[in-house]
Amino acid sequence: MGEKLAVVGQGYVGLPLAMRAVEAGFEVVGIDVDERRVKRLNAADSYVEDIADEVLAEAHRSGRYRAGSDYADAGEFDVCVITVPTPLSDGAPDLRHIGSAGESLAPLLRPGVTVVLESTTYPGTTEEYLRPLLETGSGLHAPGDFFLGYSPERIDPGNARWCLENTPKVVSGIDAASLERIRAFYQRIVRDVVPVSSTQVAELCKLLENTFRHVNIALVNELSIFAQQLGIDVWEAIDAASTKPFGYMRFTPGPGVGGHCLPIDPSYLSWKVKRSLGHSFRFVELANDINDHMPGHVVHRLILALNRRGLPLRGSRVLLLGLAYKANAGDCRESPAIEVARALAKLGADVRVADPHVDAYLAPPGIELVVAGERELSEADAVVVLTDHDRFDYELVQRVSPFVFDTRRRCRGSNVEHL
Ligand SMILES: NC(=O)c1ccc[n+]([C@@H]2O[C@H](COP(=O)([O-])OP(=O)(O)OC[C@H]3O[C@@H](n4cnc5c(N)ncnc54)[C@H](O)[C@@H]3O)[C@@H](O)[C@H]2O)c1
C-alpha cells in the first residue's frame, strides 16, 4: 500500500479525511477548485468547524500536508479519494463535480493506483459513470490497470462522540483486488472497516441510511401536527415510546430538514428508481412533502400563538434561536431556519437571529444576527427555538422571554409552547 494520498474536495468530508490520513502517516495533497479555500488551508485557517486551525497547522508542520487548486499539485499519488459535492439540479442528480474531478484526475492515473469515490450518489455511479471517465482520460482499464471502488462517508459534523476514526466504514471495489486495496487503505484510517460485495451495495447503503432518517423524521413531524390538533403532547409520547429497549428508534419533530444529506440524498434514490424501473419511490416523495412543509407549519403556529396573545405577526419582534440546520454546528446549507426567517420577514415581522455557531455573513439579507442576551430575549414578542445548540442559555431564555415557541423542546414553563 502506497503512502501518497490525494483527496479531491476539501470540504466537510474531504478535509477531515485529509487530516486523519496525515495523522495515520500518509503524505497528503488536498485538491480543491476553490482557490480561496486553498489559500485558507495553506494558512492553517480552517473553515470546517470540526477541524481546528491547530490541527491544520500541525498537519503543515508534519511536512505531509499541502493544499492546491491545480490537479498537477497531486503529483504521483498512490491513492486518490474523491469527496466533491453531489447536488440536485431541477430535482435530478447533478454529477458535474464528479465528472470534472474524474476528467481532471484521469491524465494523472498510473498503473497500480487506487481511486475511491466517497461522494453520496445513486447506485451505479462508480462503475457506470466514473469508471469510463477515468478509463477514457487515462488510456488505462479497470479492473486490471488501476483499482476502483466506493466508500460512503458517514461523517456527522458537530458530533462529539462519533468521528471519522471510530465510525465503521463501509468499503467496496469493482473487483476483489480493488476491494482488497481499498480495505487496506481504510484500515489505516478508521478502526472498523465493513467490506461489501459491490460498489452498488455500498452506494445504496449510504442512501438507505439517509432515507431511513429522512422518512422517520417525516413520520414524527406529521405526527406532531396531528397530536397537537388532538390535544396530545407528542413529545411525552415520544419519551414514553423511547423507553422500549428494542424495535423503536427515537426521532423528534423539528422545523424541517437541512444540510447536504437529508433534503438531497433520498431524491438520488427516487430518481434512480424512477429512471431504471419507472416507479415512484412513494416513501421518499411523502417524506419530502412533509419535511418541506415544516418551515411553513412553524410560521403558521407562530402566527396562531401571537394571535392568542393579541399580536399580529406584522410589526412583532421575533428572535429566532439557531440558523444552522443542526445542533452544535454552523452549517446553514438548505437550513429550514433560513426559510422560516425569510417567510417571517416577508410577512412583516421584525426578525432577528441568534446563532453562536454561524458567521454574520450567512444571515439572510435584511436579517440581523444578534446575541441571545437578556435584552434581546426580553424585548422580543416571541422567541422561536429552531436549532437546539447547547450554547444557548435555555434557563435564561425561558425566564426572561415573554413568549417562547420551542420547536426542539429545550424550554419548559407557562410562557413556552412546543411544536
Ligand atoms: N457534509 C456531510 O456531513 C456529508 C456527510 C456524508 C456524505 N457527504 C457527501 O460528501 C460529498 C461532499 O460533501 P461536503 O459536505 O464535503 O461538500 P463541501 O461543499 O463541504 O466540499 C466539497 C468541496 O469540493 C470542492 N470541489 C467541487 N468540485 C471540485 C472538483 N471538480 N475538483 C476539486 N474540488 C472540487 C468544493 O470547492 C468544496 O470545497 C457530497 O456528496 C455529500 O453528499 C457529506
Report if residue 212 sits inside a domain: no
Report if residue 211 sits inside a domain: no
Residue nearest to atom 18 of ligand 1 (CA): 11
- What Cα–Cα distance (Å) separates residue 306 from each residue in 85, 323, 353? 41, 21, 18
Encode 296-332 in three state secondary structure: HHHHHHHHHHHHHCCCCCCCCEEEEECCCCCCCCCCC
Per-residue model confidence (pLDDT) at position 159: 85
Q: Which amino acid is at 323?
A: L
Per-residue model confidence (pLDDT) at position 166: 96
Testing ligand 1's pocket by substitution, the residue of 80, 83, 169 carrying the most ligand atoms inside 8 A of its CB is: 83
Q: Are 151 and 249 part of one and the same domain?
A: no
Helix locations, 347-387, DSSP H: 374-379
The minimum-distance atom of ligand 1 relative to the CA of 121 is: 41
- Report the chain's C-alpha Rg in angstroms: 23
Of 275, 238, 268, 242, the C-alpha closest to 253 is 238
Testing ligand 1's pocket by substitution, the residue of 7, 10, 13, 41 carrying the most ligand atoms inside 8 A of its CB is: 13
Those residues whose C-beta lies under 8 Å from the C-beta of residue 108, and which sit 6 or more positions away, are 71, 72, 74, 76, 77, 138
Give ligand 1 pocket residues (Cβ under 6 A): 8-14, 31-34, 37, 83-86, 97, 100-101, 119-120, 153, 155, 157, 260-261
Report if residue 213 sits inside a domain: no
Tens-digit pLDDT profile for the chain (419 aa)?
A: 458 999 999 999 999 999 999 999 999 999 999 999 999 999 999 999 889 999 999 999 999 999 999 999 998 999 999 999 999 999 899 999 999 999 999 999 999 999 999 999 999 999 999 999 999 999 999 999 999 999 999 988 878 899 999 999 999 999 999 999 999 999 999 999 999 999 999 999 999 999 999 999 999 999 999 999 999 999 999 999 999 999 999 999 999 999 888 889 999 999 999 999 999 999 999 999 999 999 999 999 999 999 999 999 999 999 999 999 989 888 888 899 999 999 999 999 999 999 999 887 777 777 789 999 999 999 999 999 999 999 999 999 999 999 999 999 999 999 999 99
- What Cα–Cα distance (Å) separates residue 69 from each residue in 66, 216, 332? 10, 40, 25
Q: Are 133 and 186 part of one and the same domain?
A: yes
The minimum-distance atom of ligand 1 relative to the CA of 100 is: 31
Residue nearest to atom 30 of ligand 1 (CA): 101
Question: In this structure, are residues 49 and 81 in contact, taking their beta carbons and an 8 Å threshold?
Answer: no
Per-residue model confidence (pLDDT) at position 2: 54
Q: Are 171 and 273 part of one and the same domain?
A: no
Q: Are 109 and 175 part of one and the same domain?
A: yes
Q: Are 45 and 133 part of one and the same domain?
A: yes
Residue nearest to atom 13 of ligand 1 (CA): 85
Report if residue 207 sits inside a domain: no
Point out the domain boundary residue: 197, 227, 260: 197
Question: In this structure, are residues 417 and 404 in contact, taking their beta carbons and an 8 Å threshold?
Answer: yes
Q: How far is the centre of ligand 1, averaged over its atoms, from the C-alpha of 416 (Å)?
A: 39
Report if residue 202 sits inside a domain: no
Report if residue 155 sits inside a domain: yes
How remote is the C-alpha of 109 from its chain's centroid? 30
- Of 80, 205, 261, 411, catalytic: 261
366's enclosing H/E stretch is none
Cα–Cα dist 408/389, whole Å: 10
Of 44, 6, 10, the C-alpha closest to 26 is 6
What values do phi and psi take at 356, rounded to 5?
A: -65, -10
The minimum-distance atom of ligand 1 relative to the CA of 260 is: 43
Cα–Cα dist 212/117, whole Å: 22
The minimum-distance atom of ligand 1 relative to the CA of 157 is: 3
Per-residue model confidence (pLDDT) at position 368: 84
Q: Are 232 and 191 part of one and the same domain?
A: no
In the chain, % helix, strand, coil (3-state, to 5) comes to: 40, 15, 45
Cα–Cα dist 304/301, whole Å: 5
Provide the domain limits for residue 132. 4-197
Cα–Cα dist 108/103, whole Å: 10
How many domains would you assign to the chain?
A: 2
Per-residue model confidence (pLDDT) at position 105: 97
Per-residue model confidence (pLDDT) at position 91: 87
Q: Are 311 and 345 part of one and the same domain?
A: yes
Q: Are 247 and 187 part of one and the same domain?
A: no
Cα–Cα dist 270/279, whole Å: 8
Report if residue 233 sits inside a domain: yes
Cα–Cα dist 256/276, whole Å: 29
Testing ligand 1's pocket by substitution, the residue of 20, 32, 86 carrying the most ligand atoms inside 8 A of its CB is: 32
Question: In this structure, are residues 354 and 308 in contact, taking their beta carbons and an 8 Å threshold?
Answer: no
Report if residue 210 sits inside a domain: no
Q: How far is the centre of ligand 1, averaged over its atoms, from the C-alpha of 83 (Å)?
A: 5
Of 75, 70, 78, the C-alpha closest to 33 is 70
Indicate if 261 belongs to the active site.
yes
Q: How far is the centre of ligand 1, averaged over its atoms, from the C-alpha of 32 (Å)?
A: 10
Of 276, 143, 271, 291, the C-alpha closest to 215 is 291
DSSP letter at 269 equals H
166: which 3 cell numbers?
471510530
Helix locations, 106-233, DSSP H: 131-138, 176-187, 199-230
Of 219, 234, 252, 226, the C-alpha closest to 327 is 252
374: which 3 cell numbers?
437578556
Q: How far is the centre of ligand 1, averaged over its atoms, from the C-alpha of 122 (Å)?
A: 16
Q: Are 233 and 170 part of one and the same domain?
A: no
Q: What is the CATH number of the domain that holds 410?
A: 3.40.50.720
Q: Are 340 and 233 part of one and the same domain?
A: yes
Q: Are 121 and 259 part of one and the same domain?
A: no
Q: Are 228 and 360 part of one and the same domain?
A: yes
